[in-house]
Amino acid sequence: MHYKRPKADVVIVGLGWAGSTMAEELTRAGLNVVAIERGAWRDTSTSFPTTRNPDELSGSIRKDILQAPVTETYTVRNRPGETALPLRKYHNLTLGNNVGGAGTHWAGASWRWQSFDHQPYSRVMERYGAKQLVDGLILQDWGVTYNDLEPFYDRFEKIAGTSGTAGVINGVKHPGGNPFEDSRTSPYPTPALERTRANILFSEATTRMGYSPFPVPSAMIGGPYTNALGINLAPCTYCGYCQLYGCGNWSKSSPNICILPVLMQRPNFTVVTESEVVRINTTPDKKMATGITFVDSDGNIGEQPADIVITATFTLDNTRLLLLSGISTPYDVNTGQGVVGRAFTFQTLSWAFMFFENEYLNPFMNTGALATQIDDFNGDNFDHTGLGFIGGAGIQSLCNQGLPIGMSGLVPEGSPRWGKGWKKAFQKSYQNYAQIQGQGTNFAHREQFMDLDPTYKDRFGQPLLRITYDYNENDRRSGRFIRDKCVEIAKEMGAREVKGVSLADDPYSGYTPWDSSHVQGGVVMGEDPRTSVQNRYQQNWDVPNLFVIGASSFPNNAGYNPTVAVGATTLWTAKAIKELYLKNPGPLVRL
């Protein structure tokens, strides 16, 4: 059956962090907003009770909370000319599958990105010049700066209840925080969490080495807090069932606890669940969006007309929706022309894996983002002259895993993997394993992009998205540089055994252990329609009533996690819609 819902002022595709943040802003402004979400409704108390949540098998092993490949997957190849093949099993991109999106099960690292990350092109040109860029690198400014975004970073932290120790407030440095952060107008809403033994060993070692350790800001609430929307959040309990789990404790910021309880009180908000959007509809001349088409769980095809269309799905799906809908020009790797699918980035990870001798690290007491970091080698916080790359990494002692199945393979190299020898080795390594992660920047390249797969289809017969990706020379160089720093710190911490790896040394795979779930770009914002899909307000250059929000707008990845930057840019765009677009519908940037 086909049906048409009544026209809304705004339709939002996807109700994760970006969609729910946007919906809260626009419903508060009086607009009638309808959200269409592929996943099912979830309540914190009903769906993630603390009496059933602590279960590793259904959580991080079977990954019940994630969107399954059978629902939608992606094809991957390392370079143009290869045949892309589908990711058939659960892979490293941990996709949301419910109201709340990936914001329900995320690890919770809650970073403001640095001013460098928003203007990498200008900063690199100013300090080093074009000679610093490897061949084929794509580097461009966002059209929006840290200073533009600061009030929105501030607001989002106050919605999320972010915990942390501020390093720079109104230009004044504060001890214990990150001395490299751009100036904030207020401290973190809640205090940083307690540190683990591994965190403290890292702090002591990096301090001796002359670096500046600080607690990683996190979604794990540092104390009782009433957020900006009047919702009470609770302190984190360090239970360790965090990444790939919902939090039934009201202590990990998520759309489900921070926004939806307020949003669902508003009569001008509607969410249609378990319905997948398959098209953005436009006028025949593709000059205006008219709404979206979705398929509900009974296979009925529904249409939701709206004056404004906002897509707020995962990076890859935002890109795919534009390609499926024929909006804006797809990127062509042969000519370098076109914009949709261009400037795709991942994350460059390096690690030092450590085994101590006689520690009791008690790894089960953790959170998804219980980490102590140094930023001395992140972004452009150090001089890159002669290094042959740009960017760097946040280097952190990350205590995010203590669940035994996940740790059962973590025994020193050369130890038995099974038999009596394994039991003995595992018993010891469980209490003596620690890790340092270098979470690195990642820059776009001419040959890294997304388009529609020519062969593989989804359950509705639509082409899957195809990812063409391998690390570029910049990322390989920065990865090795950071790996060596991780190893030096691990040795200073007194580990008996240290193994360093740079994941960029091997070809990209969606299944590499220890790899990231962060992907950015494809629908990037920018200053020039030849190199961006959207203007600085995340408004489509060609279709002025279409806004695509999320990390798909970011033309580069920082040495940070992307969520809070997604929140800030969403709030920035919400303000532009409310204060500029509604008064004068049309392009907000005229060239």
Partner 1 sequence: MRRRDALKVGLVLLATSTLASIYKPAYSKTLVGGSGAWKAQPPPPLSVVDSSRLVYLTQDEAKLVGTVFDVLIPPDELGMGATEAGCVTFLDHQLAGPFGSAAKDYKMGPVVEGTPQQGPQSIATPAEIYRKGLAELNTVTRKKFDKAFPDLTEDQKVAFLEGMEAGTIQFETVKAKDFFTLLLQNVREGYLADPMYGGNRDMVGWKLVGFPGAVYDYRDWIVSKRGQKIDVQPVSLLRTT
Q: Restricting to residues 500-559, which ones interact with partner 1 according to CB under 8 A?
A: 506-512, 545
Min CB(266)–partner 1 separation in Å: 4
Figure out which of the listed residues 53, 313, 325, 556 binds partner 1, where binding follows CB under 8 A: 53
3-state SS, residue 325: helix
Burial of 35 (0-12, 13-18, 19+ CB in 10 A): buried
- Cα Rg of the chain (Å, integer): 23
Give the whole-angstrom CA distance, residue 484 versus residue 463.
42
Q: Which stretch binds partner 1 (CB under 8 A): 69-77, 277-285, 440-448, 477-485?
A: 69-77
Give the pair of three-digit tokens for residue 178: 């990150």
Q: Is 83 in the site for partner 1 (CB under 8 A)?
A: yes
Min CB(524)–partner 1 separation in Å: 25
Sign of the CA dihedral with 262 first, then 582, 340, and 502 last: negative
Q: Is 452 in the site for partner 1 (CB under 8 A)?
A: no
Figure out which of the listed residues 283, 405, 505, 530 binds partner 1, where binding follows CB under 8 A: 405
Please, which residue, 131 or 420, has the CB nearer to partner 1? 420
Footprint of partner 1 on 364-393 (CB under 8 A): 364-365
Lookup result for tokens 């589908």: 86
Q: How many CA atoms, within 13 angstroms, populate the side-chain half-sphere of residue 353? A: 15
Footprint of partner 1 on 91-150 (CB under 8 A): 91
Catalytic choice (91, 118, 445, 518) = 518
- Enumerate residues 6+ apart whose C-beta is below 8 A from 285: none
Q: Is 196 in the site for partner 1 (CB under 8 A)?
A: yes
Give the pair of three-digit tokens for residue 47: 């769906």
Largest CA distance in the chain: 73
Q: Is 42 in the site for partner 1 (CB under 8 A)?
A: yes
Min CB(29)–partner 1 separation in Å: 8
Footprint of partner 1 on 568-587 (CB under 8 A): 582, 585
Footprint of partner 1 on 140-179 (CB under 8 A): none
Min CB(315)–partner 1 separation in Å: 19
Q: Is 357 in the site for partner 1 (CB under 8 A)?
A: no
Min CB(162)–partner 1 separation in Å: 19
Q: Is 30 in the site for partner 1 (CB under 8 A)?
A: yes
Q: Is 418 in the site for partner 1 (CB under 8 A)?
A: yes
Lookup result for tokens 């990812």: 467
Q: Which stretch binds partner 1 (CB under 8 A): 52-60, 103-111, 213-221, 477-485?
A: 52-60
Please, which residue, 150 or 204, has the CB nearer to partner 1? 204
Draw the binding track, 300-339, toward partner 1 (x: CB under 8 A; -: no contact): x-x----xx-------------------------------
At 566, the amino acid letter reads V
∠ Cα 63 564 480 (to 5°): 75
Q: Is 50 in the site for partner 1 (CB under 8 A)?
A: yes
Per the document, the length of the chain is 591
Min CB(4)–partner 1 separation in Å: 9
3-state SS, residue 323: helix
Q: Which stretch binds partner 1 (CB under 8 A): 166-174, 183-191, 416-424, 564-572?
A: 416-424
Please, which residue, 146 or 508, has the CB nearer to partner 1? 508
Figure out which of the listed residues 166, 289, 403, 495 binds partner 1, where binding follows CB under 8 A: 403
3-state SS, residue 548: strand
Min CB(63)–partner 1 separation in Å: 8
Binding footprint of partner 1, residue count (CB under 8 A): 114
At 16, the amino acid letter reads G
Footprint of partner 1 on 232-271 (CB under 8 A): 235, 237-241, 249, 263-271
Figure out which of the listed residues 57, 126, 176, 460 binds partner 1, where binding follows CB under 8 A: 57
Give the whole-angstrom CA distance, residue 401 versus residue 269.
38
- Enumerate residues 6+ apart whose C-beta is below 8 A from 378: 114, 180, 392, 393, 394, 395, 441, 558, 559, 560
Phi, psi of 250 (to 5 degrees): 55, 35
146-180 burial by CB neighbour count: b if 16+ within 10 A, else e? beebbebbbbbbbbbbbbbbbbbeeeeeeeebbbb
Please, which residue, 326 or 409, has the CB nearer to partner 1? 409
Please, which residue, 83 or 232, has the CB nearer to partner 1? 83
Min CB(295)–partner 1 separation in Å: 9
3-state SS, residue 110: coil
Q: Strands 8-13 and 33-36, how do they pair?
A: parallel
Give the whole-angstrom CA distance, residue 306 versus residue 90.
35
CA nearest to 512, candidates 76, 56, 46: 76
Does residue 2 carry a catalytic annotation? no
Min CB(26)–partner 1 separation in Å: 10
Min CB(487)–partner 1 separation in Å: 23
Figure out which of the listed residues 81, 175, 230, 419 binds partner 1, where binding follows CB under 8 A: 419
Figure out which of the listed residues 303, 456, 484, 580 binds partner 1, where binding follows CB under 8 A: 456
Figure out which of the listed residues 21, 32, 203, 441 binds partner 1, where binding follows CB under 8 A: 32
Q: Which stretch binds partner 1 (CB under 8 A): 56-64, 144-152, 208-216, 382-390?
A: 56-64
Min CB(32)–partner 1 separation in Å: 4
307 contacts 10 by C-beta, under 8 angstroms: yes
Give the whole-angstrom CA distance, residue 238 versus residue 220.
9
Residue 521, sorted as left (phi over 0), alpha (psi -120 to 50) or beta, turns out to be left
Figure out which of the listed residues 232, 297, 337, 496 binds partner 1, where binding follows CB under 8 A: 297
Q: How far is CA 265 from the centre of its chain?
A: 28
Residue 81, sorted as left (phi over 0), alpha (psi -120 to 50) or beta, turns out to be left
Q: Is 296 in the site for partner 1 (CB under 8 A)?
A: yes
Which residues have a catalytic role annotated? 518
